[in-house]
Structure 1
Amino acid sequence: MASTLQNVAISDLSFIPAFTATTSIERCKSIYEENRHRIYAFAFWMTNSELEAEHLLEATFVRAFAENSTPTSAQIDDALIAILRWECSIGPLTLKSGEVKQILNVRENTKRVHLELAVVQLPATEKLIFLMHDVEGYEHARVARALGISADESKRGLHEARLRIRELVAEMVW
């Protein structure tokens, strides 16, 4: 099923507030196009729902353009995180790992679907850290700044997410 917002004609950005008149519509379109795929991907992974991802995508751009008529990608990320904090209860890390299980031969039997199912099951904060760092390539400092945590907490959250993904995939594969 194709996402309806992804198929919207680029000329119809009616959800962008009217007070962006100080910025050309072409510049708004450019900013939207440069960032929409990344924001939609984050939103989809965080909600596991196309409809909710579309809602978050639209809300993110409305918020970003309301705060700045030409938002940067970092400001758009900040708008998304602010909305996710409200919608997905992004908060403190849920660091739970105790003893690490020895998991052998998981790579040989792992399929992409296993990884996707495992990512969806992560706690919200660890999932967002994993997506920002390992999927989008953000540095720990940028992840930490966006989430309002320290770089060490970002590293711990990423480690926790990777461990949990390994455990979940191992359960699915065996």
Structure 2
Amino acid sequence: MRRGFLILLVSLLAACGGDPPVNLNTGDIAPTFQTTRLDGMAAHFPAAWAGKPVVVRFWADWCKFCEGEMQAIEAVYQRHKGKGLEVIAVNAGQDRQTVEAFIKKIGVTYPALLDENAKIAKRYGVVGLPTTYFVDAKGVVRGKVIGEADEATFEHHALLLLK
């Protein structure tokens, strides 16, 4: 069943047109984007988070690992936000109502961003969900996690960003 979701996501991303998907890796500059936050505010990445390390999380409500992982990231965020760590949750391909219901259900406090046409996910080369990028204060990707991971993994990457 997971393979079916991955095939569907890749197909949806390919149908978006525009630039071909990239293979974003450690050491690459994170692509810029602008979109809307769930609260209706504009979000410009990386400008709105300039000088701060950011965890960029791509997810969807149908992703069986996303709920638990987003809550694990919330725990890491709560421990380290006072040190400057930021987290943004970019929803790949779903509408505002779906995103709003899911965020309310799981109770995370970091910003949720809308990517209804999955254009941002495509720019980041996302081929499966969940996918998480760890971007340093200079906008350089310092880590990448594709698929299921635990809180300790997120903690490890967050601590590396905060050094």
TM-score band w.r.t. shorter chain: under 0.3
Greater relative CO, 1 or 2 (CA 8 Å, sep 6+): 2
Pick the structure with more strand per residue: 2
Length-normalised TM-score, structure 1: 0.24
Larger Rg over CA atoms = 1
Length-normalised TM-score, structure 2: 0.25
